[in-house]
Amino acid sequence: MYPNRPIWAEVDLSAIRDNLLAVKERVGRGVKVMAVVKSDAYGHGKLEVARALDPYADWFGVSFVDEGVELRQAGFDQPILCMVTPLPDELDAVIKYRLTPVLSDASLAGQLGERLARMEWMSAYRRDFDVHVKVDTGMGRLGVWHAEAPETVARIEAVPGVHVAGLMTHFPLADGEDKDFAREQLGLFARVRRELGKKGLKPELCHAANSAAIADLPESFLDMVRPGLALYGSYSSPHVTRNLDVRTAIALRARIAAVKTLPAGTTVSYGRLHRLERETPVGVLPLGYADGWRRSLGGRAEALVRGKRRPIIGAICMDMCMVDLGGLGEVTPGEVVTLLGRDYSGEKIEVEEVARWMDTVPYEVTCGLSERVPRHYLRTE
């Protein structure tokens, strides 16, 4: 990629490290921490983030097998949990790269056992292959339904060469104002664990807590927690207690490509959605929805120019958007504008704020930044 591209994202690896340490302080020494780096570390860059967290993370969490393979090939030795159930043709890679798959049915476990035998796993490592089982306590997505979980876990454990080392569940609404449903889920999860205990099965790692639960549901910490959004310095909703000392780890910046003064009455951008009420200096930024700066931000978002908030006007284009530069004096092409994160003056636009402008969740803001936005990695200590 051309090194001087006039848009870029700055990723503060020191902030991500400090955010993980804040989580560790919150949960205490007896609880392991899985750093969730799926979806390219929520758009921050999984390899660079994993390197920054390597001395501190007990586990890494990803969604897909290929993400886990990439971490292994980069030299990471921590256990890596692949949270999306692998397909049968991915099992060889799961074994080869010592990834921990999340299973929810005995049939796939049987296929894994067959592959283990064929690849002579036991001869090479002299131990069973660890898997985790996901229990659906109300998410309605992946996992074995909680009422069926004890029997399913027992059947998976019975597969030669396979060991159920972990049991997990997931909250759909830990960040809601009412935490009752999350607590009901924890009750169902505890029931499954008790039933397994009656069968003599006690998975070593039970885990449920995402970032919101880490903040508000200490009873969910169990043996391990799975922070994702908290690592990158955001909260998923206004109903999550701000009790983690975390800070935003990303800033999105652009250099002004052009400045022109337009007369009153001029319309700006596609659809003629914005009409200037007075003569206005307008800056053109080389950033658009192809970069992940969504079309819905037109007329809603703001940018920091010289430490002052100025409105983004008109529809966002594929490769450009426009900013009202009124009240700033003479602004010239090449000046830096901050659309997300902390400006060089110290002013900032939080990820949560951009999410409100987009009518979405903070996760989507950073995950949506496209690959053509270069990431520049910083350490601020």
Q: Which residues are annotated as a binding site?
A: 141, 318
Whole-number Å distance between alpha carbons of 220 and 208: 6
Closest CA to 255 of 346, 323, 355: 323
Q: Residues of 124-146 as b/e, b for ≥16 C-beta within 10 angstroms?
A: eeeebbbbbbbbbbbeeeebbeb
Active site residue 270: yes
Q: How far is residue 22 CA from its own chain's centroid?
A: 17
Write down the residue that tokens 């959004």 correspond to: 229
Whole-number Å distance between alpha carbons of 372 and 381: 28
Helix (H) or strand (E) holding 335, with range, is none
Closest CA to 230 of 211, 214, 249, 250: 211
Neighbours of 219 (CB within 10 A): 12
Please report, in range form, the residues annotated as the binding site for substrate.
Answer: 141, 318
Active site residue 38: yes
Integer CA distances (angstroms), 183 to 20, 24, 30, 174, 238, in order: 25, 22, 22, 9, 19
Which one from 56, 125, 270, 344 is the annotated catalytic residue?
A: 270
Closest CA to 57 of 32, 81, 82, 40: 32
Which one from 38, 46, 134, 179 is the annotated catalytic residue?
A: 38
| Token pair listed for 109 | 């476990």
Neighbours of 275 (CB within 10 A): 12
Integer CA distances (angstroms), 96 to 68, 112, 114, 118, 120, in order: 11, 12, 14, 12, 11
Catalytic residue numbers read 38, 270
